[in-house]
């Protein structure tokens, strides 16, 4: 590519974001996360914890939620340091640990779940839109949901097409609306279901496989974002307080709210379909329309930041295309992902999360080991943008074998034999294996 790493005002470029072109303040960063994490996928996960759908008790479910959110805040803030300091995206950051060419593998591994989640979000939005139109106009048809799905893909692609600044504006505005609807939902759920603690909630629970599956699934929902968090932090004002406070206040409140809402809904209604659960939770038709509108808006805001941005930047790097083309490609792939198959039953939904988590744990471990231990937080930015043997990050034919082996080996082992704990085992395994292999397998100064 032979590019110079000079700052540019183009916020959607792969080049480093200049300090004076950072889009997010701490407040707008928090609002971005609120609008992104008020998401029905987290609600659906919460539904799966307690009986009759799940087999955890209330204390176990709360423990899972706390462990997961602590890991989110810590890993987001640690792995986002390269983006905060240097203004580089995930596609460029990954080159340090995996090589100029080897990074393409972990980039595409990150892109695939994002595209599927993009499709899932749009499908949930389409179901919500179908519910709204059914209630208001009495119109519904089996094929209509697919038409709504395609229309939502077009709408979100158009919003993302205008770039990160438009995405920031839309999400910040939507977060206010979402917060108001959240307040209504919380009051309603507490009045109708919140004080009804069933005996099954107080059961002994299961500290075996169901607990570890629940914990890995909870982490796995945002394990994807842990990898490419620099795509967001590169647009944040350069401040340690901004990154830690931004993640603490931005992630924890919506995370706890959506999972708690899912817990109550799942235990009270005994159904897993998140849209149908919200419909049944509605006290009247008007409230149902409001809740479904909330679902629709929440899916759009989440897709814009978490599910469209990562693959678009990855495609820009892999195929040498511009932002606009990459966004359109992401939208098309979101359509062909056929998300209705994954959302057709809980086992498919859970299996999807557990399997990609098996690889994402070691990837994160390698990235943390490379940045904090091997390089001690120092990157040669100019050389990260050099596509050829002259770069210190070229390694062996453009690949850092230490990084790739440290992902493939533990990822495969945990996927086959330790799937319920795949991410939890994969992070330390990737971290330690990389530190052992890097001095042996890396040639040259990289």
The pair phi, psi for residue 76, each rounded to 5°, is -60, -45
Task: Report yes or no: 84 and 297 within 8 Å, Cβ to Cβ.
Answer: no
Q: What are the extents of the domains in the chain? A: 19-337
Q: How far apart are CA 281 and CA 262, in angstroms?
A: 11
What is the dihedral angle through the alpha carbons of 324, 329, 331, 336, rounded to the nearest 10 degrees? 170
Q: Give the Å distances, CA to CA, from 312 to 94, 150, 308.
A: 16, 19, 6
> Yes or no: is domain 19-337 CATH 3.40.50.300?
no
Token digits of residue 336: 């062909």
Q: What is the pLDDT along the chain (446 residues), one digit of tens a residue?
A: 333 333 333 445 789 988 888 888 999 899 888 878 877 778 888 888 888 788 888 889 999 999 999 999 999 999 999 999 999 999 999 999 999 999 999 999 999 999 999 999 899 889 888 888 888 877 777 788 999 999 999 988 888 877 655 555 555 555 566 666 666 666 766 676 554 555 555 667 678 888 999 999 999 999 999 999 999 999 999 999 999 999 999 999 989 888 888 887 777 777 767 777 777 777 677 777 777 777 777 777 778 778 888 899 899 998 989 988 999 999 999 999 989 988 877 788 889 999 999 999 999 999 999 999 999 999 999 999 999 999 999 999 999 999 999 999 999 999 999 999 999 999 999 999 999 999 988 665 55
- The number of residues in the chain equals 446
Here the contacts of 441-445 (C-beta below 8 Å, separation 24 or greater) are: 441/396, 441/400, 441/401, 441/402, 441/405, 442/395, 442/400, 442/401, 442/402, 443/395, 443/396, 444/392, 444/394, 444/395, 445/392
pLDDT in tens, 189-238: 667 655 455 555 566 767 888 899 999 999 999 999 999 999 999 999 99
Task: Report yes or no: 255 and 64 within 8 Å, Cβ to Cβ.
Answer: no
Q: Is the dihedral of CA 92, 97, 103, 106 positive or negative?
A: negative
Q: By three-state DSSP, how is residue 130 classified?
A: helix
pLDDT value of residue 6: 38
Intra-chain end-to-end CA distance of the chain, in Å: 19
- The DSSP result for 347-408, as a single string, is HHHHHHHHHHHHHHHHHHHHHHIIIIIISTT---HHHHT--STTSTT-TBTTB-HHHHHHHH
Q: At what angle do helices 144-161 and 323-336 cross, to 10 degrees?
A: 160
Cα-trace Rg, the chain: 21
pLDDT in tens, 126-163: 988 888 888 887 777 778 899 999 999 998 888 887 76
Task: Report yes or no: 365 and 98 within 8 Å, Cβ to Cβ.
Answer: no
Name the residue among 52, 99, 128, 107 with its Cα closest to residue 386. 99
Task: Report yes or no: 255 and 72 within 8 Å, Cβ to Cβ.
Answer: yes
CA angle 46, 49, 51 (to 5 degrees): 125
Where b means 16+ CB within 10 Å and e means fewer, 328-349 reads bbbbebbbebebeebbeebeeb
Q: By three-state DSSP, how is residue 344 classified?
A: coil
Q: Which residues pair with 399 in a beta bridge?
A: 396
* Residue given tokens 């595209």 in the structure block: 115
pLDDT value of residue 29: 92
Token digits of residue 224: 């994807």
pLDDT value of residue 7: 37
Q: How far apart are CA 75 and CA 72, in angstroms?
A: 5
pLDDT in tens, 18-37: 888 888 899 989 988 887 88
Token digits of residue 242: 């901004």
pLDDT value of residue 101: 95
Q: By three-state DSSP, how is residue 121 classified?
A: helix
């Amino acid at each position: 590519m032979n590019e110079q790493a000079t700052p540019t005002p183009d916020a959607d470029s792969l080049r480093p974001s200049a300090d004076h072109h950072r889009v997010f303040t701490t407040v707008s960063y928090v609002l971005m996360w609120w609008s992104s994490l008020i998401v029905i996928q987290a609600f659906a996960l919460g539904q799966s914890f307690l009986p009759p759908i799940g087999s955890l008790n209330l204390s176990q479910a709360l423990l899972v939620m706390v462990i997961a959110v602590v890991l989110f805040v810590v890993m987001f803030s640690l792995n986002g340091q390269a983006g905060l300091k240097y203004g580089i995206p995930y596609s460029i950051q990954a080159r340090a640990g995996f090589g100029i060419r080897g990074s393409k593998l972990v980039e595409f591994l990150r892109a695939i779940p994002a595209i599927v989640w993009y499709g899932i979000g749009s499908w949930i939005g389409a179901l919500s839109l179908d519910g709204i139109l059914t209630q208001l106009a009495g119109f519904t048809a089996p094929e209509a949901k697919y038409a709504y799905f395609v229309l939502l893909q077009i709408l979100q692609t158009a919003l993302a097409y205008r770039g990160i600044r438009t995405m920031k504006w839309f999400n910040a505005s939507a977060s206010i609306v979402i917060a108001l609807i959240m307040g209504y939902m919380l009051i309603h759920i507490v009045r109708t279901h919140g004080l009804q603690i069933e005996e099954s909630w107080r059961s002994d629970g299961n500290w075996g496989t169901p607990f570890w599956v629940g914990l890995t699934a909870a982490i796995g929902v945002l394990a994807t974002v842990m990898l490419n968090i620099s795509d967001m932090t590169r647009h944040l004002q350069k401040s340690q307080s901004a990154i830690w406070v931004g993640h603490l206040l931005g992630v924890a409140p919506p995370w706890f709210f959506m999972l708690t809402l899912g817990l109550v809904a799942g235990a009270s209604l005994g159904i897993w379909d998140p849209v149908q659960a919200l419909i049944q939770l509605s006290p009247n038709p008007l409230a149902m329309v409001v809740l479904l509108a909330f679902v629709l808006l929440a899916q759009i805001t989440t897709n814009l930041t978490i599910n469209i941005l990562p693959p678009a930047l990855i495609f820009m790097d892999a195929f040498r295309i511009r932002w606009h083309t990459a966004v359109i490609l992401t939208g098309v792939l979101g359509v062909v992902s056929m998300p209705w198959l994954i959302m057709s039953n809980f086992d498919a939904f859970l299996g999807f999360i557990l399997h990609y988590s098996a690889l994402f744990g070691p990837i994160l471990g390698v990235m943390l080991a490379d940045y904090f231990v091997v390089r001690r937080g120092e990157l040669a930015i100019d050389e990260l943008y050099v596509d050829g043997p002259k770069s210190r990050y070229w390694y062996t034919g453009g690949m850092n074998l230490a990084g790739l082996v440290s992902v493939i080996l533990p990822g495969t082992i945990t996927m086959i034999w330790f799937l319920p704990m795949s991410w939890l085992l994969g992070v330390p395994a990737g971290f330690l294996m990389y530190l052992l292999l890097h001095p042996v397998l890396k040639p040259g100064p990289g």
